[in-house]
Amino acid sequence: MPELPEVETTRRKIEPLLLGRTLTRIEHDAPHKYTDTHKAEGRTVIGIGRRGKYLLLRLAAFEAALAGEDPGDLELLVHLGMTGGFRLEAGPHTRVTLHTDQGAVYFNDPRRFGKVAVVRPGEYAAFPTLDGMGPEPLSEDFGEAEFVKAAASAGAVKPWLLSQKPVSGVGNIYADESLWLSRLHPAQKKLTAEEASRLHAAIREVMAAAVAAGGSTLGDGTYQQHDGEAGQFQVHHHAYARTGEPCERCGTPIEKIVLAQRGTHFCPHCQQLQPR
């Protein structure tokens, strides 16, 4: 499932395919999922950014202004959902086709959890998670003191991380990995300063390593890059999808539980719930 490292890898890969190109036509068949995409037609991609798990394509007004239309800049949002990704060729799971003045790029999404929308830059009211997105884990904005303070009164730590509020881009895989590395039980509440500091460092470490490895490609192949290349971080997983395998710190078999409707993997010896 695409989380920050996979989305960032995708961003880097599609940048040379879309930057500076003009979107001539956007084709899809699910208006309720892919909203206002026609507004992007005739506009030029002048930037490809990312916030958390969202890709943000900045669209210049120039071409539209020439055509006598609304001249304000627009933003094309893409969320990859569970199985979304870009491809160079159309396939059975092509959901959105971005036709440009120099060829097409295809948004592929078998399970249709992904989203595409065109909005005014920064107007994210229809996307509450993006609107309330916490700091980027690999930026200076991810302050340790602030994180420690918020963690002191938070509920179960894993659902808290998945909310995208304390930090952006952490999903199921990297939440489990960060908690394993910081030796915290996924259901731990009200982290001490020492625990929260460990988690803060672990999130940065895991995210940086995963971005460097091009993300994780799971056995089911749900995530791969536009060229079919696989990420390499899955070989560094310590907890996620390692149910029953020995913990690499202590040898205890990794356990799987369900927490907040999410499959959750942890070491019952290294990651014990502390009574508070």
The residues that touch DNA, with contacts defined as CB under 7 A, are 1, 3, 30, 33, 52-54, 79, 81-83, 92-93, 110-113, 127-130, 155-156, 159-160, 162, 164, 171-173, 189, 219-220, 258, 260-263
Q: Which residues are catalytic?
A: 2-3, 53, 262
Q: What is the phi/psi pair of residue 67, to 5°?
A: -85, 5
Q: Which residues are annotated as a binding site for DNA?
A: 93, 111
Instruction: Name which of 42 and 171 has its Cβ closer to DNA.
Output: 171
Contact present, 236 and 218 (Cβ < 8 Å): no
Tracing tokens 């890709």 back to the chain, one arrives at 55
Residue 46 is given by DSSP the state E
d(CA 47, CA 53): 16
Residue 51 Cβ vs DNA, minimum distance, rounded to whole Å: 10
Residue 102 Cβ vs DNA, minimum distance, rounded to whole Å: 30
- DSSP code string of 86-126: EESS--TTEEEEEEEBTEEEEEE-TT---EEEEESTT--TT
Instruction: Name which of 24 and 35 has its Cβ closer to DNA.
Output: 35
Q: Could you tell me which residues come within 8 angstroms of residue 71 by beta carbon, excluding any fewer than 6 positions away?
A: 61, 64, 65
DSSP three-state, residue 13: helix
Instruction: Name which of 7 and 104 has its Cβ closer to DNA.
Output: 7
Residue 229 Cβ vs DNA, minimum distance, rounded to whole Å: 18
